[in-house]
Every structure is written in C-alpha cells, then in structure tokens.
C-alpha cells in the first residue's frame, strides 16, 4: 500500500485568548479557513497564565497551510508582533496525508 503525502507548513501561535477573535478575522482575510485551538497553561513575560480567569487564559492556535498562504500569514502575524502584541509564533515543515 503506497502512502501519498504532500508538503505543507504547520504554524503554531501561543497568545492571550483576548486576541483570538482578531486573529481569526486575520486568518479569514488571508483565506485560511481551518484551524485548531487549544486552551493552554504556562508562564512567561506576561506572568502566570493558568486559565483561571479570562485575563490569564492563553490559547494555542494550530494552522496547517500551503506555502502561499503561509507567507501571507507570517507577514500578518509579524505585523501583530511589531505593534507590541504578545505572540509566540513558530512554524514547521510537515507532510500531510493526501
């Protein structure tokens, strides 16, 4: 049995849940329609984020995207960062089962 995969990019964003609606709007503008969101906990520059109240709830957004949308997404996310918003963004190459 042969397995067919194609190359994509995974982008993961850790940020405050208060940014979620705006990021989703950005995804929509870029044409990204699919994403997965998790509630996550941790500690960092913004202090303890333990999902106790809305103000200290962080999310992890995961997007699998093609190389064209990837460029536009990273540019848009960079714009958030340049404005001083707190986001941790990292990406990886991935193979997706066709």
Residues near another protein, by CB under 8 A: 16-19, 22, 39, 45-48, 50-56, 79, 82-86
Q: What is the DSSP code string of 41-63?
A: -EEETTEEE-SSSGGG-EEEEEE
C-alpha–C-alpha distance, residues 54 and 5, integer Å? 39
Q: How far is the CB of 83 from another protein (least distance, A)?
A: 5
Q: CB nearer to another protein: give 1 or 82.
A: 82
Give me the least distance between CB of 13 and another protein, in Å please.
15
Nearer to another protein, 2 or 45 (CB): 45
Return the exposure string of 27-42: e unless at least 16 CB atoms fall within 10 Å of the residue's CB, then b: beebebeebeeeeeee
- Nearest approach, Cβ of residue 78 and another protein (Å): 9
């Amino acid at each position: 049995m042969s397995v067919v995969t194609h190359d994509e990019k995974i982008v993961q964003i850790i940020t405050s849940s208060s940014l979620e609606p705006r990021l989703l709007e950005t995804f929509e503008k870029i044409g990204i329609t699919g994403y997965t969101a998790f509630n996550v906990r941790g500690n960092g520059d913004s202090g303890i984020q333990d999902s106790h109240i809305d103000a200290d709830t962080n999310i992890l957004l995961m997007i699998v995207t093609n190389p064209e949308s990837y460029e536009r997404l990273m540019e848009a996310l960079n714009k958030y960062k340049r404005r001083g918003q707190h986001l941790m963004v990292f990406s990886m190459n991935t193979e997706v089962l066709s």
